[in-house]
């Protein structure tokens, strides 16, 4: 994800393409060693590819059955978007183990942001400072945008969580809204939904050679409209479980450039976390600017693994 502002090129035109180890990162003793041991056990290829990184930084609409259950082998172009469709609410809650639970998924950025620079550059209050409403996000070197990646993973994650019985809401879906929403609105959607857990999906835009994922946790902020003190503990628990599931299912290693090898990073400068009143974390799934990480992020099969790993962490958190 890009947290420094809309400084990336607009998305490039799409080009046709051819088509029982449990990670107890909750303990983190030490997290870096544990994550790396699992990484070595499952193989450094991460299920066939790799990718590049992102930086810190919708309205509820809908999709067809195909967009809600994207193929695990879909290409970057098959990102779960169906033009002209609208999702007005989450699917009916099931009778699975998460029945009665609400999860809000926040797909980072928006493919239309670069067309609305005035709107996304507008500063909003995040409690301890003011920051841009949103940013454009990053992309792979061949133009696969972070916004498309985050929406695809979010669709896959929604399907998995609904199968567990959860009620799932997205902060944006498809091309609605045409830009944003702003970071304060993304937090508000989770708050007004009284989410039991919320997650913002991103990918990083860091230097070549910087690889791996990291989960961003809210730090303690008590300023202005922000008071994260009640959610710091639960959010850490949520983040540790998601990190553990992500390592186990994807085989990706924790970030080699953020988090000291633990796959966890605490921040107090992100409005989506500062303004949240429900347990919430961000996940940077990989580095879009590194060729090896980018190959993973562009793989539909790997994105399905990413969604599965995140889902397992959320399910574990919500079941206690």
State the CATH number of the domain containing residue 228. 3.40.630.40
What Rg do the C-alpha atoms of the chain give, in angstroms? Answer: 17
Residues 238-254, mean pLDDT to the nearest whole number: 98
Q: Is residue 129 part of a domain?
A: yes
Q: Is residue 25 part of a domain?
A: no
Q: Is residue 301 part of a domain?
A: yes
Res 93: pLDDT: 54
Task: Specify the number of domains making up the chain.
Answer: 1
pLDDT of residue 80 exceeding 70: no
Q: How confident is the model at residue 36 (pLDDT cuts 50, 70, 90)?
A: very low
Catalytic machinery residues = 284
Q: Is residue 20 part of a domain?
A: no
Q: Is residue 13 part of a domain?
A: no
Residues 174-190, mean pLDDT to the nearest whole number: 94
Q: Residue 190: which domain range?
A: 31-319
The answer to whether the CB of 169 falls within 8 A of the CB of 278 is: no
Res 174: pLDDT: 82
Q: How confident is the model at residue 72 (pLDDT cuts 50, 70, 90)?
A: very low
Q: Is residue 21 part of a domain?
A: no
Eight-state DSSP code of residue 176: B
Measured CA distances, 137 to 115, 165, 242, 271, 290 (Å): 13, 32, 22, 15, 15
The three-state secondary structure class of 288 is coil
Residue 150: which region, alpha, beta or left (left: phi > 0; alpha: psi -120 to 50)? alpha
Q: Is residue 18 part of a domain?
A: no
Q: Is residue 22 part of a domain?
A: no
């Amino acid at each position: 994800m890009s947290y420094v502002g809309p400084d990336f090129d607009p998305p490039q035109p799409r080009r046709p393409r051819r088509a029982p180890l449990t990670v107890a990162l909750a303990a983190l003793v030490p997290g870096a060693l544990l994550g790396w041991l699992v990484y070595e056990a499952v193989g450094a290829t991460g299920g066939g590819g790799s990718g590049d990184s992102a930086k810190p930084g919708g309205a509820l609409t809908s999709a067809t059955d195909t967009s809600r259950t994207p193929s695990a082998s879909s290409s970057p172009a098959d990102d779960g978007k169906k033009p002209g469709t609208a999702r007005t609410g989450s699917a009916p809650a099931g009778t699975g183990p998460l029945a009665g639970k609400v999860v809000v998924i926040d797909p980072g950025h928006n493919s239309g942001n670069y067309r609305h620079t005035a709107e996304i550059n507008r500063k909003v209050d995040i409690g301890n400072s003011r920051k841009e409403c949103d940013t454009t996000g990053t992309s792979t070197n061949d133009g696969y945008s972070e916004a498309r990646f985050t929406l695809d993973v979010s669709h896959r994650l929604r399907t998995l969580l609904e199968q567990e019985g959860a009620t799932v809401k997205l902060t944006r879906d498809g091309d609605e809204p045409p830009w944003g929403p702003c970071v304060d609105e993304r937090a508000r959607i989770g708050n007004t939904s009284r989410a039991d857990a919320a997650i913002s999906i991103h990918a990083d835009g860091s230097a070549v050679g910087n690889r791996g994922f990291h989960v961003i946790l809210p730090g303690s902020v008590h300023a202005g409209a922000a008071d994260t003190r009640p959610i710091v503990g639960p959010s850490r628990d949520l983040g540790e479980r998601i990190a553990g599931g992500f390592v186990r299912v994807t085989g990706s290693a924790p970030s080699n450039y953020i988090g000291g090898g633990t796959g966890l990073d605490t921040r107090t400068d992100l409005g989506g976390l500062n303004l949240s009143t429900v347990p919430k974390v961000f996940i940077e799934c990989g580095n879009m600017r590194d060729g090896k990480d980018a190959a993973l992020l562009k793989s539909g099969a790997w994105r399905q693994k990413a969604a599965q790993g995140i889902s397992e962490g959320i399910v574990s958190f919500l079941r206690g």
